[in-house]
Structure 1
Amino acid sequence: MPLLRVRHLTEYSYRQPVSFGEHRIMMRPRESFDQRLVEARLTVVPEPRELRWLHDVFGNSVAIAQFDRRATALTVESEVVLHHAPLAQAQVDVEDYARLFPFTYSSEDMPDLLRSIERQHHDPGRVVDNWARAFVRDDGATDTVGLLTDIATRIKHDFTYVARHEKGTQTPIETLDKRQGTCRDFAVLMIEAVRALGFAARFISGYVYNPSRETGNLGGGNTHAWVRIFLPGSGWVEFDPTNGIIGNRGLIRVAVARDPYQAIPLSGTWAGFPRSFLGMRVEVDVSAATGPLPLPDQGAVNSRIAGTSRKSHRC
């Protein structure tokens, strides 16, 4: 099980001191059999008046920070060391009744999967439906994993990845029309496509590990987004349409959600003069770890705990 280190830094700058409202921070990776936290540290400047943790409706770890001082900058830094166990496509095992598409989820699973099957975007012209149906064979012998793999790899090969730091996501129809988008646009397109076919799918936000900076996966240097689809026999299985990854190889989960707006890494408000905001700086680095996190600067320990501004960021 490889040992990885993740560093995620976000810094907001302002012309003059501003005040900060409540902020939600979702940077702590989820713990499971395939990824286990060894060490985690959340650092924030200025020091919040209060910092508390909670689990949201999906079981994601969320830090809530409240501030009582003004500042010209807000810095949030998450540092994590974790064990990560890659799962390859060949290890995806599907129950016999679900090996061929179409199939119906069991009566035990269906009540809990319904909201993840429900469509989130209007498609009056059935544009997404028709695009998804084109992957289904006419002779009734469509392999389930092969179908989902074809959708993910078609997005990777036929669509152009374009990084965008502004908040918001294109609709699936816009992505199909433009043939380009961010990782979150591709994830939303795949989610809507497989939901149109009756699959339960969820949006995942996290990090992608690039062993090679030159030939590695797209989406590095920022947070990344992909899809989880429920398959009887294997449960929730990762599909990354940006990189054509099937399984969790190189993918570190932070947030699981039904819709992208529920998985924003940083969100909150600030109050000040209208043109106070100067900009945002984001740094994300995922690398192989050889030991524990370095000790923090002792002079800053008490003044570094959690926060952000009303902007958010994903790839």
Structure 2
Amino acid sequence: MPLLTIRHVTCYRYRQPVSIGEHRIMMRPREAFDQRLLSARLDITPEPRELRWLHDVFGNSVAIALFDRRADELVVSSEATLEHAPLAQGQVDVEPYARRFPFIYSSEDMPDLLRSIERQHHDPERIVDNWARSFVRDDASTDTVAMLTDMATSIRRDFTYVPRHEKGTQTPIETLNQRQGTCRDFAVLMIEAVRALGFAARFVSGYVYNPSRSEGVLGGGNTHAWVRIFLPGSGWVEFDPTNGIIGNRGLIRVAVARDPYQALPLSGTWFGPPASFLGMDVTVDVHRADPSQFALTDHGAINSRRAGATGK
């Protein structure tokens, strides 16, 4: 089970000191059975007047920072160490009634999945619908997992990954027409496509890493985006169309949401002359941690041996 440390640093630069408003920070990895958070630290310069934590409607950990001073630079640095338990494609176990597409979610699940099935982008000419339907067999023998896998891997194979640091995402139709985009564009395309087929799907923001030197992944060095699809029997299953990954191998979740705008790693306001903003720099580093820096207590808890490690 890999022991990983993630360091995520974002720096906003200004031509002159500006007043910094409230900022919303989503950089703390989610805790779950497949990723166990051992330590987490959040450092902010200038130091905020107040820093408080909350869980949003999706259960993501969100830090709210309030400031009372002017500065020409805002630096937010998050460092976390966790145990990661990768789930491979072969471990996806679907209930018998859902192994063939189409199927209908159970009456117990459907009320909570409805908002994740709703389409978010207009498709009057059914361009996305037709593309999604191209993965469905005509003989009523479509294997559910195989179809979703085919969709994810086809995006990886047929579309060109092009990094883009500007905010926002392309529409699914733009991505289909251009045959290129960022990881978040590919995630939005796949979400809309599977929703067109009746699946519940959510947007995931987090980090990607190389499980081994022999595997090449796209989207490293920055935050990454992919998709979670609800499959009866396995629950929410990861599909990364940028890398063709099925399961969470190499993927570390931070935020899960219905739409990308609900999962921004860092957002906020500043006040000053319009030409003050100079730019933003983001660096993300994911590497294997030294197990000797952590000790297992008699009660099964993990204690960090690193000086300064906190649970903020």
State the TM-score, normalizing by the size of structure 2. 0.93
Equivalent residue number for residue 205 of structure 2: 205
Equivalent residue number for residue 243 of structure 1: 243
Offset from partner CA, 1:220-275 (integer Å, 9 cap, x none): 00000000000000000000000000000000000000000000000000011111
Equivalent residue number for residue 308 of structure 1: none
Number of matched pairs = 299
Cα distance in structure 2, aligned partners of 1:12 and 1:215: 33
Say whether residues 1:185 and 2:185 are aligned partners.
yes
* Residues 48-197 of structure 1 mapped to structure 2, 5 A cutoff: 48-197=48-197
* Residues 276-295 of structure 1 mapped to structure 2, 5 A cutoff: 276-290=276-290, 291=293, 292=304, 294-295=306-307
Structure 2 residue runs of 5 or longer lacking an equivalent are 294-303
Offset from partner CA, 1:121-171 (integer Å, 9 cap, x none): 000000000000010000000000000000000000000000001000000
Which residue type is aligned with residue 113 of structure 1?
Answer: L
Equivalent residue number for residue 310 of structure 1: none
Say which SS state the counterpart of residue 275 (structure 1) adopts: helix
Cα distance in structure 2, aligned partners of 1:199 and 1:281: 36
8 A contact 1:92–1:234 mirrored in 2: yes
Structure 1 residue runs of 5 or longer lacking an equivalent are 306-315
* Residues 251-262 of structure 1 mapped to structure 2, 5 A cutoff: 251-262=251-262
Q: Cα distance 1:295–1:13, how it changes in 2: closer, same or farther (>3 A)?
A: farther
Cα distance in structure 1, aligned partners of 2:250 and 2:120: 28
Cα distance in structure 1, aligned partners of 2:110 and 2:91: 24
Offset from partner CA, 1:79-117 (integer Å, 9 cap, x none): 000000000000000000000000000000000000000
Report the identity percentage. 80
Which residue type is aligned with residue 51 of structure 1?
Answer: L
Cα distance in structure 1, aligned partners of 2:125 and 2:21: 42
Q: Report the alpha carbon displacement of residue 280 of structure 1 after superposing the two structures with TM.
A: 1.0
Cα distance in structure 1, aligned partners of 2:282 and 2:163: 13
C-alpha root-mean-square deviation of aligned residues, in Å?
Answer: 1.5
State the TM-score, normalizing by the size of structure 1. 0.92
Cα distance in structure 2, aligned partners of 1:81 and 1:272: 37
Say whether residues 1:7 and 2:4 are aligned partners.
no
Cα distance in structure 1, aligned partners of 2:272 and 2:143: 56
Which segment drifts farther, 177-186 or 212-221? Answer: 212-221
Question: Where do 4+ consecutive residues of structure 1 move more than 6 Å?
Answer: none
Equivalent residue number for residue 234 of structure 1: 234
8 A contact 2:172–2:185 mirrored in 1: yes
Q: Determine which structure has greater relative contact order: mean sequence separation of CA pairs < 8 Å that are 6+ residues apart, divided by chain length.
A: 1
Q: Report the alpha carbon displacement of residue 212 of structure 1 after superposing the two structures with TM.
A: 5.5
8 A contact 1:80–1:293 mirrored in 2: no
Q: Cα distance 1:214–1:274, how it changes in 2: closer, same or farther (>3 A)?
A: farther
